[in-house]
Amino acid sequence: MLSYRHAYHAGNPADVSKHAVLMVLLEAMCRKPTPLLYMETHAGAGTYSLHAPRARKLAEHARGIARLQAAAELDPVCSRLLELLRPHLQAGHYPGSPRIAADLLRAQDAMLLCELHPSDFPVLSAHLGGRARTTLMHTDGYAALAASLPPGQRRGLVLIDPAYEQRDEPRRMCQALRRALRRFAHGVYALWYPLDERGIGSVLRRDLLAMGCAKLLLAECRFASPRTAGRLQGSGMLIVNPPFRCDEQIVSAFACLSRVCAEHDSAQTGHTVRWLVGEKAAPASV
C-alpha cells in the first residue's frame, strides 16, 4: 500500500518533534570534522506547500509549527529549529526531513534518500536531485539499507520513518535494522513511530532490546489524550547509539513541545526520555 500522503500532515506536532530530534542528532554528529553519511529509508517528497489543498484540508500545521511561531517563549532547541525552518516557512513551505538534513549537513557529508512512492519520488528529485554528494533511489528503503552499509565515511545516521500502513511494518523495520546492525554496528539509527492505540512503540522496544544494542534511547512526546480511537496522541523515537548528551537536548525540546502543542482539552500531555540500554542517566518523564 502506498496510499499515505504526508502532505496532509506536514508541520503537525509529530512532524515538529521528529525534526527537533533529527536536528539535535545531526548537530552533534557534525561537530566532529570527519564526514558522515545521512540516509533515509522513507524520504517522502522533501518539502510540502502549506497553502496546497491537501495541507489546508486538515490544517494540522496550525497545531504544530504555527504554535511554535506564535509562542512567546521557546527552549533553546526549539528556537534553533524555528530559525532553521524560517526561510522555508516564509516561502509558504514546511520542509521534510531530507530538506532539513540538507540544510544541516556540510560539504564533505553525503546523503542517500530512498522513496518508493511514484508521486513523491519525482518531487523529491526536483528538490534535491541536483545537490552535491546526494544519491536518490526510487526503491524500497528497507532493501537498500543493509546494501548501503557500512558507508565509506565510517560514520552515519539513518532515519527510518515509514507510514505504518502495513500491519507488519514493525516486523519489517526490525528485520532491516537487524541486518543493518550486522554491517554497521556503531551507526546511529533513529526509528520514528506514532503514539496511538496500536501500541507500535511497545513492539519496537521489545524487538530492539532483543537485538542487544549497545545504547538505546527512548524519546516520546505526547500532545493529546488517548480518548479517541485512531487519533494521534504523540510522537516517539527509538535511537540506537545516540551521540553524547543528545538526551539532555531532547528532554528540553520535548518539554517545550508538549506544552506549546498540547491540545487544550488534554490532561495527558508530557514527555518521556529515558535510556533503555546504556548511559543510565536519571529518566526524564513528565
What positions carry a catalytic annotation?
161
Q: Please list, residue by residue across 133-147, b when 16 or more beta carbons sit within 10 angstroms of its beta carbon and e when fewer do.
A: ebebbeeebbebbbe
Compute CA distances 9 → 96, 175, 196, 234, 273, whole Å: 11, 27, 15, 13, 24
Would strands 234-240 and 188-195 be described as parallel, antiparallel, or unpaired? antiparallel
Compute the radius of gyration of the chain from its Cα atoms. Answer: 17
Q: How far apart are the first and last CA of the chain?
A: 36
Query: What DSSP string runs through 41-104?
Result: SS-TTSEEETTSHHHHHH-GGGGTHHHHHH-S---HHHHHHHHHHHHHHHTTEEE-HHHHHHHH
**C-alpha 36: how far from chain center:** 18
Strand partners, 190: 159, 239
Query: What 8-state DSSP symbol labels residue 37?
Result: E
Judge contact between 157 and 25, C-beta under 8 A.
yes
